[in-house]
Amino acid sequence: MSADVQGLAVRYGEAWAAHDLDEIMAMHTDDTVFHLHGGGEPAVGLSAVRDAFATAMEQWPDIRFDRKRVHIGSGHFVSEYEMTPSKDGHEIVCDGVDVFTVEGGRIARKDSYLDLAAVQRQLVELAGPPAYDQSSALRGHPRTPARMGRVGLEPTTWRLKVRPQERYRTAANGKKLHRAWIGTATNCC
C-alpha cells in the first residue's frame, strides 16, 4: 500500500509542477475535500475543489512548490514544501505542509497549512507605505503621528508647535505654590 501512496505522491507533485489541473483532479475522489486552514471554509466535492485550485492558479500563475520532505504512511502522505508565487515580478516565499488522506488509490482529503502571516507581510512590503492624508489625521484617523511608527511611515511632514499654558499647583490652603508650562502638539503644516 505505501508504494501505491508513494507513487500517488510523486505523480501529484509532478502534476502541480506542470500546473495540469485535469491531471491533479484525476487523482482526487468524487467526494474529495480541500481545506486551506486559515483561508476559509473547506471546498467539498470535485467541482468545488477544482474551482479552488483553478482560482489559486489564476491568482498565482507561476506558483511552484519546492519539496523539503515527504512522509509516506498507510492511507496518507504528508508533504512539506516551500511555496513560491510572485506578484509584480517579486517572489513571495512561505513554508507549507499538506496532509493527504488516500482512499482507493486517490486523494480523499487535502489539508493545507501555509505560513499566511509570511505571505501577508511580504505583500504589505511590496505595496509600500500607505498614502498619508493629513486631513484624515485631523479627523482622528488611525494614522496620526503617534501611531505612524506602527505602519512604518516617517512623520517627516509633522512639526510640533508648543503652545505654553500656565498651570498652577494649589496647596491645601488654596495658595498657588508654583507655575509650570505644558506644551500641546498641533499640526502646523
Q: What is the CATH number of the domain that holds 69?
A: 3.10.450.50
107 pLDDT exceeds 50? yes
Give the residue numbers spanning the domain of 165.
134-182
- 88 & 54 share domain: yes
- Give the 3-state secondary structure of residue 41: coil
Residue 160 makes CB contacts below 8 A (sequence gap 6+) with: 183, 185, 186, 188
Residues 40 and 115 grouped into a single domain? yes
pLDDT computed for residue 112 by the predictor: 96
**Would you state the pLDDT for residue 126?**
83
Q: Which of 55-69, 124-138, 149-163 has the lowest mean pLDDT?
A: 149-163
Q: Are 39 and 136 in contact (CB under 8 A)?
A: no
Q: What percent of the chain has a predicted confidence (pLDDT) above 70?
A: 68
pTM: predicted TM-score of the whole model, two decimal places: 0.66
Together in a domain, 109 and 148? no
Domain-embedded: residue 170: yes
Q: What is the mean pLDDT of the chain?
A: 78
Tally of structural domains, the chain: 2
